[in-house]
């Protein structure tokens, strides 16, 4: 029976593609419980695919919410399932809202709107003025709404010569867990300063940056209830003045300038549409502005779902130059995050090397960036699962902050004549290859922080107009090994 159904489905899809027929008009929302594992994988009837929500809206804890026709309902019953009809409607969006938001058809208040997050941050700023600074890093493409980053440190008002760690959420609109995790992390770090020794140490020795929502316009489309499926930004692609129509927008996690043409899709209607050109979207330019201002050591971008951490990278069958170290950090972070069923911890996997945030951060700037896919089987999780997913992910964030203590190399490059900091290439020829850009010290302090394994390393420091310097350095097993370089100007 199953094979026959698959064949019939394949024939229908081929016929529809050839003759332009519309997909099945599904008027039923079903809830199907106790779905066995083999039906959730491979050729099973309930394989959740967040890129294709035409049938299965979510599948959490072996319970699926499914769009169906009356014929499909009978097929499920005939196969031995016991689906419950939650709602019948000719309005697709009503079915989708019911399947994602529940009987109220509205997003549960356990989730925050962007405005609520901004208001919460304003309260925290008043309560912790020394530890907390808000900065606008850009605005959204369509509605020009401000995109905020928040700096946490013991002296947040002034930039500090310290390693930087970044946490961001909400590249994809419907992936609501990331913003909630980043907001909660903000609250916990500020509350713990002065009372929790480890937290106090982090804020005394690091600069921690938080961007709760990158894709502010798209996040608003979801949290307002307009369309729970929305993933891209709100760009009006056809210029007709109408926004919020499903299919429009640019996937901003395919718009970064690293192997841009190799990632996503060039078709505007596709989920992975990468935009007209790299950094065409203001949301991406905002993240670029922040990353160039503060050259981060480590970072996490929260997404949903899958309970896996993707790190850079696997490219033409080859790992990244820093693969062993990055993989070790990803393993340490993943090992601290429990899965929703409580039976294991998150998995890790190398991602591709194209157009996404972690490829750009690592390939262009040398940031050890990773994507954490939170939760499993949904974008908008049931409200009763939200606190548990947040609490499960916080230990992973804390582990990343621990990883910022080294071991590694910190280089300071200055002009030998004036003592002023220099933006200079800091190249480790034994590690880096042609797949990545040369790393540089920052403009403000002339500083370059780099996680490295202990042992001997060759370092070449070069800056236009100065004599190049080569050093052999022994990196200690713990902490930061410091190297002061004063470059002599050329005649």
Q: What is the pLDDT of residue 1?
A: 39
Q: Are 372 and 339 in contact (CB under 8 A)?
A: no
At residue 20, the pLDDT reads: 45
Q: What is the pLDDT of residue 197?
A: 98
Predicted confidence (pLDDT) at residue 4 exceeds the cutoff of 70? no
For residue 290, what are the CA distances in angstroms to 163, 217, 287, 296, 423?
14, 19, 5, 9, 17
Residue at 108 is within a domain: no
Q: What is the pLDDT of residue 52?
A: 86
Identify the domain boundary among 47, 73, 101: 101
**Residue 22 has what pLDDT?**
62
**Do 334 and 214 lie in a common domain?**
yes
**Structure confidence at residue 491 as a pLDDT band (50, 70, 90):** confident
Let me know whether 225 and 78 are in one domain.
no
**pLDDT for 51:** 85
Phi-psi region of 102 (alpha: psi -120 to 50; beta: other; left: phi over 0): left
Strand ranges of the sheet holding 347-350, from the earlier edge strand across to the other edge: 132-139, 146-152, 207-211, 164-169, 298-303, 368-373, 308-311, 347-350
Q: Assign 3-state DSSP to the chain and report helix, strand, coil percentages, each to 5.
A: 30, 25, 45
**One domain, residues 266 and 152:** yes
Task: Give me the percent of the chain exceeding a pLDDT of 70.
Answer: 95
Backbone angles phi, psi at 150, to 5 degrees: -125, 130
Per-residue pLDDT at 6: 37
Distance (Å, whole) CA 270 – CA 231: 11
Q: Are residues 249 and 382 in the same domain?
A: yes
- pLDDT beyond 50 at 354: yes
Q: Evaluate if residue 14 carries a pLDDT over 50.
A: no
d(CA 266, CA 285): 20
30 and 86 inside one domain: yes
**Residue 24: per-residue pLDDT:** 86
Confidence label for 50 from pLDDT (cuts 50, 70 and 90): confident
- What is residue 282's predicted lDDT score, i.e. its pLDDT? 98
Please report whether residue 278 resides in a domain: yes
Q: How far apart are CA 3 and CA 184, in angstroms?
A: 47
In a domain, 449, yes or no: yes
Beta-ladder partners of 416: none
pLDDT band at 375 (very low <50, low <70, confident <90, very high): very high
Q: Provide the pairing of β-strand 164-169 with 207-211.
A: parallel
Q: Which domain covers residue 8, as residue numbers?
A: 2-101
Contacts of 19 (CB under 8 A, 6+ apart): none
Give the contacts of 109 (CB within 8 A, at least 6 positions apart).
none
Residues 188 and 260 placed together within one structural domain of the fold: yes
Give the tokens for residue 132.
């907390």
Across the beta sheet with 408-415, what order do the strands follow? Answer: 447-451, 408-415, 480-487
Looking at the structure, tell me whether residues 122 and 173 fall in a common domain.
Answer: yes
pLDDT mean over 223-251 = 94
Mean pLDDT for 63-78 is 97
Does 242 map to a domain? yes
Q: From 349, 372, 403, give the residue that closes a domain.
A: 403
Total domains in the chain come to 3
| Residue 107 maps to a domain | no
Looking at 60, 78, 101, the residue that finishes a domain is: 101
Quick one: average pLDDT of 218-245?
Answer: 95
Residue 327 lies in a domain: yes
Do 10 and 73 fall within a single domain?
yes
Residue 473 or residue 5, greater confidence: 473
The model's confidence at residue 76, banded by pLDDT at 50, 70 and 90, is very high
Q: What would the mean pLDDT of 122-147 be, rounded to a whole number?
A: 98
- Whether 106 is in a domain gets the answer no
pLDDT (mean) for 422-437:
96
For residues 148 and 263, membership in a common domain is answered with yes
> What's the CATH code of the domain at 397?
3.40.630.10
CA distances to 185, 416, 427, 487 from 192, in Å: 10, 42, 38, 42
How far apart, in whole angstroms, are the C-alpha atoms of residue 375 and residue 386?
Answer: 9
Give the mean model confidence (pLDDT) for residues 317-346.
97
DSSP single-letter state for residue 437: P
Question: Do 63 and 168 belong to one domain?
Answer: no
β-strand partners of 460: 427, 470
Beta-bridge partner residues of 425: 440, 462
- 10 Å CB burial of residue 8 (0-12, 13-18, 19+) is exposed
CATH code at position 45: 3.30.70
According to DSSP, the β-strands at 63-68 and 28-32 are antiparallel
Residue 345 DSSP one-character state: B
Same domain, 398 and 416: no
Domain for residue 386, yes or no?
yes
pTM of the full structure: 0.94
412 shares a domain with 396: no
Question: 91 Cβ partners below 8 Å, 6+ apart?
Answer: none
CATH of the domain at 442: 2.60.40.1120
């Amino acid at each position: 029976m199953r094979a026959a159904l698959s064949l019939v489905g394949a024939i229908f899809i081929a016929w529809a593609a050839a003759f332009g027929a519309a997909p099945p008009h599904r008027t039923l929302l079903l809830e199907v419980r106790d779905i066995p594992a083999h039906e959730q994988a491979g050729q099973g009837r309930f394989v959740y695919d967040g890129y294709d929500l035409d049938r299965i809206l979510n599948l959490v804890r072996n319970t699926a919410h499914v769009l169906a026709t009356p014929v499909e309902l009978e097929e499920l019953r005939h196969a031995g399932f016991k689906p419950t009809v939650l709602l019948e409607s000719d309005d697709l969006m009503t079915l989708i809202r019911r399947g994602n938001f529940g009987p109220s058809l509205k997003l549960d208040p356990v989730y925050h709107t962007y405005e609520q997050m901004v208001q919460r941050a304003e309260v925290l700023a008043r309560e912790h003025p020394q530890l907390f600074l808000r900065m606008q890093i850009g605005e959204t493409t369509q509605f020009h709404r401000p995109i905020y980053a928040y700096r946490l440190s013991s002296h947040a008002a002034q930039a500090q010569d310290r390693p930087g760690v970044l946490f961001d959420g909400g590249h994809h609109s419907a992936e609501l867990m990331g913003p909630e995790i980043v907001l909660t992390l903000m609250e916990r770090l500020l509350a713990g300063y002065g009372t929790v020794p480890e937290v106090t140490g982090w804020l005394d020795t690091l600069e921690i940056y938080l961007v709760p929502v990158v894709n502010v316009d798209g996040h608003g489309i979801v949290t307002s209830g307009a369309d729970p499926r929305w993933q891209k930004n709100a760009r009006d692609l056809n210029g007709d003045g109408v926004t919020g129509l499903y299919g429009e927008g640019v996937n901003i996690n395919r718009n970064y300038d690293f192997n841009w043409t190799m990632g996503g899709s060039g078709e505007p209607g596709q989920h992975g549409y990468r935009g007209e050109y790299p950094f065409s979207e203001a949301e991406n330019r905002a993240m670029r502005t922040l990353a160039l201002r503060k050259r981060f050591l480590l970072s996490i971008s929260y997404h949903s779902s899958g309970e896996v951490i993707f790190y850079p990278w696997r490219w033409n069958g080859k790992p990244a130059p820093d693969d062993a170290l990055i993989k070790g950090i990803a393993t340490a972070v993943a090992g601290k995050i429990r899965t929703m069923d409580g039976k294991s911890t998150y998995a890790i996997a190398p991602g591709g090397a194209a157009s996404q945030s972690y490829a750009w951060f690592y390939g262009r700037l040398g940031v050890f960036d990773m994507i954490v896919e939170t939760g499993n089987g949904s974008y908008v999780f049931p409200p009763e699962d939200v606190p548990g997913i947040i609490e499960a992910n916080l230990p992973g964030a804390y582990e990343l902050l621990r990883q910022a203590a080294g071991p590694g190399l910190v280089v300071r490059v200055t002009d030998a004549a004036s003592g002023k900091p220099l933006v200079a290439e800091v190249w480790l020829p034994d590690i880096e290859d042609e797949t990545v850009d040369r790393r540089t010290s920052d403009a403000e302090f002339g500083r370059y922080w780099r996680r490295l394994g202990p042992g001997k390393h060759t370092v070449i420091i070069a800056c236009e107009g100065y004599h190049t310097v080569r050093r052999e350095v022994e990196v200690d097993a713990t902490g930061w090994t410091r190297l002061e370089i004063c470059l002599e100007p050329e005649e």
